[in-house]
Amino acid sequence: MKDLIEVKTARLIGAPLDWAVAVATEAAEIAIGEHGVICIYDTPEGGCWTNLYQPSKDWSQGGLLIDEHRGSTQHSPGLAEEACYSGGPAGAGVWLYGPTALVAFCRGFVHYKLGDTVQVPKELMP
């Protein structure tokens, strides 16, 4: 078993956030590859294996999640750059912030599905 570390969902970014999203989507298989998270995730056409799962950076992956969960994001120009977007899925009582629309949505999605803190593999942490 991997060594896990507990992290605040609102502070997740990069590979740890992508890992948490894979867990929240109940991906069929999740592993750590040389460049980050690899997993099997669902698409409208069925399961899809990826060598690099980056829904917090890749619109072809994160955009599917926004559509599937009827999510939204919003830009707030008056906020600091690291928190100028907010986002989350439909039904979430709380949206979370991030530096990009995808990071904000992914944080909001993980918070909605898994809570305020999550456990991620220590080796993914910067």
Structure confidence by residue, pLDDT tens digits, 21-38: 999 998 878 888 877 787
Euclidean distance between CA atoms 32 and 45, whole angstroms: 25
pLDDT in tens, 107-117: 999 999 999 99
Lowest mean pLDDT among 26-35, 52-61, 77-86, 114-123: 26-35
Instruction: Name the residue ranges covered by the structural domains of the chain.
Output: 4-115
Question: Could you tell me the pTM of the whole model?
Answer: 0.89
In this predicted structure, what is the pLDDT of residue 48? 67
In this predicted structure, what is the pLDDT of residue 95? 93
3-state secondary structure of 118: strand
Euclidean distance between CA atoms 85 and 79, whole angstroms: 8
3-state secondary structure of 23: helix
Q: Which two tokens stand for residue 76?
A: 């707030």
CATH number of 4-115: 3.30.2120.10, 1.20.1090.10, 3.40.50.12280, 3.30.70.2190?
A: 3.30.2120.10
- Better pLDDT: 14 or 49: 14
- Eight-state DSSP code of residue 75: E
